[in-house]
Structure 1
């Protein structure tokens, strides 16, 4: 009796992971205990027909498999029968695409039915499923009487698909034999390219992963075959200067040293394939030729992640090396759009889904470096690396309090609330700031909700004003902590804190430092209310006065826009020129764009602020901040602390969130008209 699609999936899972349990399989495939037992019995019947021992199950739900099963079915030899198990529909689709991309002959329905051993109707349905998958690559299956079934679309997309499908087919049971049968690639050709790849490894001082070494000979042969047939990637723009001085380019020249008339674009494409191939190890991770600025981008990404996940990553340099080893090939995959089309999020555990969300929010430095958004598949790999590292050191966000901020007053006010509450509760993991509509459809798990109005929710809800004064913050923190813990927690380990400080600084008097830290951490909350004098509350119209407003038709660049906006502050010595220079180190941070057409460039107080201030530049034609944002209103903010400017900033946020008044500002023709609108948002 042949194995069904479900039986075959379970059997492949057992071969790949014999240490799995009945409970895991039932949960993964949505089966009852009875359904799993029925499938195991069918698999055992099939094994007996193949003269192999059956699989035993223990009372604890573990499986005992004889080594002969692994040897007979795990080894891919010429003698292994291709039809040893029924193909799943997904596998049939993969083989159909492999035939379309790599077959040497014209293809008819008979070719598919013969290769897949299914009916014509099944093949026709599989062709429809194949087209659905090909839609992700912007490719089409076309049939003509003269040439049969053909794959049509940009050659670069076909190459990308070819690399992915070759890997997937090789993961099937007996996949190598199936691939050789479809493509007419012989053993001698495979052996020759394996030798060439080994030479490449020696030349580059690295070792590719076993999976990549297994796949690369087929990929290289199939690409060379398409080149000789006249298919070219020359429509795709590859930067010669970036790739031609790499060792991978030299390796490409070596691999194809005896091939004639391979265009430069094709050599660069093969170089890309080598550059985007994951490696098992590399002897010189920081040698010349690494991607410029990749290390600081990874470092900044980790810092953002640590802040958002409330995690302190130990042995950080080792994690950096692991991420660098993965992200160097990922850099080229992302930049040249060679990443997997399908996301791997479905394979993530519940906790890893939350980590994935936080990692994705932290990838801004990588996006800025590469100039392209980081695909979910790449974010998933990064998540797995960081998540595995956290588990190794016993860290988890599973037990941390996870919070969301819900605000109906627009994105700018919501973002301000999010930042304020993140500072007030540094021990919480803040997942998102949401509108009410987004909140109703939110998928991630969370523990508490902060909102300025009542919301219907089964989770703990804390009503918090959009703008929190100092006493409001103290009251809210005490309320939340008492509700969650029944007391105000003071669980900071001073010795652990000193250990962290010791890693980054020389401590001259450790005993005195410990005493001071103990006094600060354990100070009475009530008395601390009176230790600071109340700072003056400033309205928006007190900071952005007519003399702090400038109007221009246009400017040449974002840098010129910032300098022009900051000019009144510099002239009055509210800020120094160094402060404006410092702004540009933060200038690619998308959080300075607080609403459409409005940005608030700023730096830290220590970068050159003498007193609190704001200045506004209105550009009639706008200026590009990034390709995604065109800005008409630039408000430079100079803050001396975290308090004095906040009331005015809140008023600015409210103004920026009003599309009507925002447009009135952009269309205003005089400083007086702009100031009048600002005054309408400046009442206490």
Structure 2
């Protein structure tokens, strides 16, 4: 499949209703080029004895399910290749694993990265070269393994730099492995409490940075503090309000931290950009910087012959940006790549760059450090934005949480689909019901599979939604949050249409216009659930087992997974992790009253995609649910393509007629046929 046909097919899958005219416009190709590419691809399909792509009388492209599944498989394989760490990423992960675990063996690293011990040994040599650049030493202890020695301050610097340089560390699955002893919910709660006490809100970028770096730092800090690490922080932050508030909040947690780690965490908050400060309260520690800003603004007015309106508020907003920038420069830290999307960038702001180099000199003299180009450029844009948009009120993305009763996999699937649907929202986490009630104050709205007792705006959703249901949800959410401009546009369009034509059903027309306009404003095209594979695409007839004997839940899980083991879909690590999960007090991997769906993430023994089924005619008591009779182990590499299959399992689990038939049949062939008919 060449690049041209791949681009054509990608667009056809995303927009099944697209017409040839729009296709030519979006791809920059002629009709002849598109038809030629599709005909070529159809020739390959015929050679492989597969149905070809056709166009109907209305001009729509019809892509057979087999072709869609083939495209999906190729895209999944491409994504999996992208998930494999590069050589440099692997070295960074090795260093981070050592940093967060203090002591590790070659076996630990081999298991963590799923690579051979020889490769680990070679990577450790390269890791040592990077570590030495920070004047640190990689040491080997025969009893405990590898660890990093010398300045703890430099180790913290190394940790921060790795987070900045390697986005792979920010991936959820990596964070979970690198800091599995630290609760993500408690980290977000700590950040929110700091915002409340300081009467501010951090920018989305800073929030993501804090969410990533805090668990990593705490993972090391808690262990090292127990060992009695000496004071290492080379600076002074104790006179800041951030330190005073953090000192109080950390004491309310189970994290026991030494003074130096507390100071370093304080520094992380000090370098974080502020979206909005909700108070005019001033702190003594900022007095000198405020004087420098006053001088900067006076010099600006003098050199540009302008007068800034409401200068006091303007200087306060500049302080909100310049203060964290000064701490970043003073301690040689960074939040990584900055996004200037929220700032208006034009030639007028670019002109400020040269002027800012002169205006910032007094601040540089005070810091005894020069502003790097990226910080100076950001300050220039920020200064210019505040100058030309003094009356513009920026809106921060509302912070959303997903609450799901069906376990980690379904929760992640829902969250990923909602993130695609709502670019206007910031999805921070996925919770169980119990965790939500503990941390609900940290969020602005909630998407949930069951009704909750909460004052937050809540939107009850199904794990899978049709295209129209997704658009309808999007309309309701944006309308509720007041960030939707569709209503006014629809009314104007209705007025124009009714002026020049007769409308037989104005209600349906208005609804269709709402769908159309919301779809046009959507940055990421929504998944059309009609093209997603069904349950029987993953569940094979020989993956079904029927028993009529009393066994323990552990034996049932092992027996249910046996077809997946025998067919190299998963390995033993999959079973081990599923057994450990099910024993947890809050395990929620159940559908209905009789179904369990053991599942785990890709790094725990998943080799290919597949679903097996164990039907027990005798009820099995699990730690968190009694009377289980259906067990569907789920092995998924790509969580975005399995909504339909998961939803079909949920439908089976709540359909009493189908359940009764399944539990009375003995033959696996007839069971498979029944499932195929139902789905």
TM-score range, shorter chain: 0.3 to 0.5
Higher helix share: 2
Larger of the two Rg values belongs to structure:
1
Higher relative contact order (CA 8 A, sep 6+): 2
